[in-house]
Structure 1
């Protein structure tokens, strides 16, 4: 009989890595999965003044 044991999926731990910024595409040293925008872009006035998606009180589309 054939072995049908299913191995559990092992997730990669959150780790610092060199990633490309999602805004300007420049490589930067990220501290983990959640950091995808480089410091330069985060310091821009556009980034700092835009409402955060899902933030309490942030304007958004209503359906």
Structure 2
């Protein structure tokens, strides 16, 4: 397993950006895991979430403005 940081948004473009560390076997699997974890945090379907980025490792975000 590798650790990645996923970046997800709601497909309708409303709301903020979800950023979270996920463990997965590949970048492709990390995208699915990030969508699933984001959807669970937001209480929506993973079908409503778009993964917009994956970074290697558990990235420390020092500043983010939506």
Bucket of the pairwise TM-score, normalised by the shorter protein: 0.3 to 0.5
Q: Larger radius of gyration, structure 1 or 2? A: 1
- Higher strand share goes to which structure? 2
Larger RCO (CA within 8 A; separation ≥ 6): 2
Instruction: Tell me the TM-score normalised to structure 2 length.
Output: 0.36
- Higher helix share goes to which structure? 2
